[in-house]
Amino acid sequence: MSKKSVSEAAVKRPWCMITDMDQYLFGEGTHYEIYKKLGAHPTEYNGEQGVYFAVWAPHAKGVRVVGEFNCWGNDGYPMKRLDPLGIYEVFIPGLREGSMYKYLIETESGDYLYKADPFASYAEKRPGTASRVADISQFIWHDERWMEKRKTWNSAEEALSIYEVHPGSWKRHPHEEDEDGFYNYRELAEELTAYVKDMGYTHVELMGIAEHPFDGSWGYQVTGYFAPTSRYGTPEDFQYMMDYFHKHGIGVILDWVPAHFPKDAHGLANFDGQPLFEHPDSRKGEHPDWGTKIFNYEKSEVRNFLIANALFWLNEYHVDGLRVDAVASMLYLDYGKQDGQWVPNKYGGKENLEAIWFFKHLNSLIRGRNDGAMIIAEESTAWPGVTKDVKDDGLGFTFKWNMGWMNDFLEYMKLDPYFRKDNHNKMTFAMSYACSENYILVLSHDEVVHLKCSMINKMPGYMDDKFANLKAGYAFMFGHSGKKLLFMGNEFAQLQEWSEERELDWFLLKEERHQGMQNFVKALLHMYKKYRCLYELDDSWDGFQWINADDCYRSIFSFVRYSKSKRKSLLFVVNFTPMERPDYRVGVPKKKKYKLILDSDAKEFGGKGRKRPEVYEAKKGDCDNQKYYVEYPLGAYGIAVFEF
């Protein structure tokens, strides 16, 4: 194979090669498609087919491309330095897709580093750490209808029920068939789509898609920001999965990690022998608790890397939304740090001004696309205006995970029912701030790991009580203002804590209680999609009315959800104690007929299946500060939802 370099031929440079304008925009932090220039790109040059490589390594004394094609020897293909940014480039004729490669970087101190390509589209399957040449531009998409429809989507007023999935542990093949047992992307597409559609979710949120070396990180310590993990197949397989989801009406959200990255030798850390992607001051550039590096948001090229990466997933893989991990760790300079481990901003405060600016820049771009793409903050503090528009001095996210609701909810649900009367406000407090942001109510993977117990085993009492408690909790969640997210396994009451090392315990569905739980969650999901009142006015008090928020001694909550048109409103009544209330009365706002559409006592949900009237006539009389009331025999841990 000839080692002809780019500079040896005075011919027209292919589209993918770096220009002066590319360098200028990258230096300014505004080259939103820099991934089309940096990285490895199959192309034709000087009449020969091959691959063009470009890498940003300004502190390097020299860079070579090494790989299978030269038996990983140090005599790889020398790259030409382009100033002023210190980008290195080379065209290697004869190289093909699938070839494994790394950059051999000679540092200023004379050391040699073997680095994976930060912009690689594909990576070797772990434990290998090489990059692979891939052309992701050839896939033919068939999701035009979905993408066009998404442009008209008003996220705040649409149904959004998310199934959070770790692909490697949702389902697995028997180990004798495959070393890991992972389903590949194409298998996942078909099985996961069928399950999600049957259950009634609108979206899946996929964990751990960007390439990462360690399974136990769940994908939150990324080394390949532009590469779908090879654990489950090729980039084309991933495109197939995205296309398949969309053709069947399912949206896809990916976890995205711009907060930190690992110190693995082949990754971004000290990439060219010096801090490049991370801040050089360890007080700004390292998370002491996590053992990871923090991106340097002060550097325009680093901000460009992250912004281009977010847009890459939206553009090249048609992703519908990004859930941004660990936002609080980016916003606060002192996050997870002791005195002396952090540096105040120029005003003496703990706010990370550069990270704030980064979010405003990124979210302005995503909102400005007007194509229905979402960006969701996993933000665990009371930072104001997370979902407020940037021009109104907000951060500009589409949604925020409601971590406050989740913590209060779980603390309440863990209590013995006897003590719930003294903690009633844990279930009502979230409505006092529900309109301050666009929220998603979450019961995510973080709540069922690290000895926190599975959802069902957080519940008090004997096993029947646990199931009844959890159904009551889910009913309250689906009635409450805010979009919804459930982690896989929560829907059928997985008994074990989740582990990335094994598939979910699907065999539990052979047992009546677990099947009843899955049926109940399925009914909630389909009810949620059917009734606009459950999602259309999530950010307004026009969509929610407490009937009785103060019935602490009986631990019963009753409320109404409204749509804009006020048609097909729903009344929720949820009893959080094992006490039956055969003569229960609930106040209602209208003298109407109230149709029972969800009854937790139904046989299909594991209840006793007692016969109850389907329609209840409102009677005149003061009750719960309403002029009318409905009488209904409310069972132990009883749940009743009425349409009117």
Instruction: Retrieve residue 102's tokens.
Output: 């790394």
Residue 78 dihedral angles phi and psi, to the nearest 5° = -70, 140
Question: CA angle 551-557-562, nearest 5°?
Answer: 130
Instruction: Retrieve residue 278's tokens.
Output: 């991370």
DSSP 625: T
- How far apart CA 65 and CA 349 sit, in angstroms, is 44
Question: CA angle 303-305-311, nearest 5°?
Answer: 100
Q: Read off the amino acid at residue 602.
A: A
Q: Read off the amino acid at residue 276.
A: L
Residue 15 dihedral angles phi and psi, to the nearest 5° = -55, -30
- How far apart CA 590 and CA 272 sit, in angstroms, is 70
| DSSP states along 24-82 | HHHHHT--TTGGGTSEEEEEEETTEEEEEEEEE-TT-SEEEEEEGGGTT-S--EEPEEE
Q: Read off the amino acid at residue 231.
A: R
Beta pairing, strands 161-165 & 203-206: parallel
- How far apart CA 383 and CA 403 sit, in angstroms, is 12
Q: 471-474: long-range contacts at Cβ-Cβ below 8 A with a sequence spacing of 24 or more?
A: 471/517, 471/520, 471/600, 471/605, 471/637, 471/639, 472/574, 472/575, 472/576, 472/600, 472/637, 472/639, 473/409, 473/413, 474/520, 474/521, 474/524
With CA atoms as reference, report the closest residue to 492 among 450, 524, 535: 524
Instruction: Retrieve residue 288's tokens.
Output: 């002491």
With CA atoms as reference, report the closest residue to 471 among 457, 489, 456: 456
Measured in whole angstroms, the distance separating CA 239 from the mean position of its chain's CA atoms is 18
Q: Read off the amino acid at residue 509.
A: L
Residues recognised as catalytic: 325, 378
The helix (H) or strand (E) run that includes residue 324 is: strand 321-324
Residue 29 dihedral angles phi and psi, to the nearest 5° = 85, 20
List % helix, strand, coil for the chain (3-state, nearest 5).
Answer: 30, 25, 45
Beta pairing, strands 77-78 & 62-67: antiparallel
With CA atoms as reference, report the closest residue to 582 among 606, 612, 625: 612
Q: What burial class does residue 438 get, using C-beta atoms within 10 Å of its C-beta: 0-12 exposed, 13-18 middle, 19+ buried?
A: buried
Q: CB of 634 within 8 A of CB of 580?
A: yes
Q: Based on C-alpha coordinates, what's the Rg of the chain?
A: 27
Instruction: Retrieve residue 91's tokens.
Output: 């065209």
- Report in angstroms the alpha-carbon separations of 9 from 13, 46, 55, 90, 321: 9, 7, 20, 12, 43
Q: Read off the amino acid at residue 14.
A: P
With CA atoms as reference, report the closest residue to 63 among 7, 103, 32: 103
- Within 8 A by CB and 6+ apart from 227, the residues are 120, 121, 122, 123, 131, 210, 211, 235
